[in-house]
Amino acid sequence: MRGALLSAGRAPAGFLNLLKPPGMTSHDVVAFVRRQVAGAKVGHLGTLDPGAAGVLPLALGAATRTLEFLPAARKAYRAELTFGVETETLDAAGRVLARRDPGNLEVADLEAACAAWRGVVMQVPPRVSAIRQAGRRGYDRVRQGEDFELPPRPAEYHSVRLVHLEGAVALLDVECGPGTYIRALARDLGQELGCGAMLSFLLRTRSGPFLLEHARTLEELRADGVPAHLIPVGQVLEACGMPALRVEGVELGRGMELLAWRDEETHPPEPGTVVRLVEGEGRTLGLGRVLEEPAPLRVRVLRPVSEGGAP
């Protein structure tokens, strides 16, 4: 994806594909970007644990108006698991609870255990997490010494593949849906193999259309300026699979209803579908929801999003 300066007024707007370094929280990264662009509104598309690294997509300015309408993103990780160690947080950051001899782990056994993780499963999330129970975050309850269990919740795994095994350390490639905890996968694989395991390192390689090979470092943002690495709103929405409808000669206002046209080669979106509203050469003006099916389609504007230039 190429970068471009988008504007809502004079404030930069668009998406950033950042490479989060280990040791920083996702909120630390958001704060860093806010300091680089004073006064800009910044939102994220899903956090990473402090010890993890990799793709951290952010939205700036008018792009934050689209976050609630983006489809759920498939994510990909390279995960390092250490067998024979169990910790309070299920990763290397936590207090060690148990150590066991992992014995001679066999590639075939681990491959078979990984292959079983397919589709939607009910999985117990980590207690040290932001999940609320009785109105309180799990990590706060652990910090205060409470003994509790979180109920299982759906987790979607597209693939779990063993890349390499050496001694008690394994590298896995994991593709999964949003809200899935790789720390919980490490715990469960360790239990299946009878020796326990923790997530010793995690690298996110993909979050929806944002790929690791295109991610920018914080040093690049500091050197080049944030606008140099912004990705246009329309480009991200298109990459996420959001259909487009054309409108002409209209200034969008939230809640207004208007007629829109589709390209001849595209199928008409069903009523209720969220679409991006474009004009001219494809400049994204905002988001709408389809109200009626016949052509031209009637849509209601959900969010105006001015790109201030070509997408």
Active site residues: 49
The answer to whether residues 190 and 83 touch, using CB atoms and an 8 Å cutoff, is yes
SS (H, E, C) 147-186: CCCCCCEEEEEEEEEEEEEECCEEEEEEEECCCCCHHHHH
Residue 205 gets which letter from DSSP?
A: E
C-alpha–C-alpha distance, residues 206 and 36, integer Å = 25
One-character DSSP codes across 39-56: T--EEESS---TT-EEEE
The partner residues of 58 in beta bridges, in order of sequence, read: 16, 44
C-alpha–C-alpha distance, residues 283 and 277, integer Å = 8
Among candidate residues 256, 269, 276, the one with its CA nearest the CA of residue 296: 269
Residue 187 gets which letter from DSSP?
A: H
Give the β-pairing of 132-133 and 136-137: antiparallel
Which secondary structure element, helix H or strand E, spans residue 80, and what is its range?
Answer: strand 75-83
CA-based torsion, 121, 127, 129, 135: positive or negative: positive
* 145's tokens: 């010494």
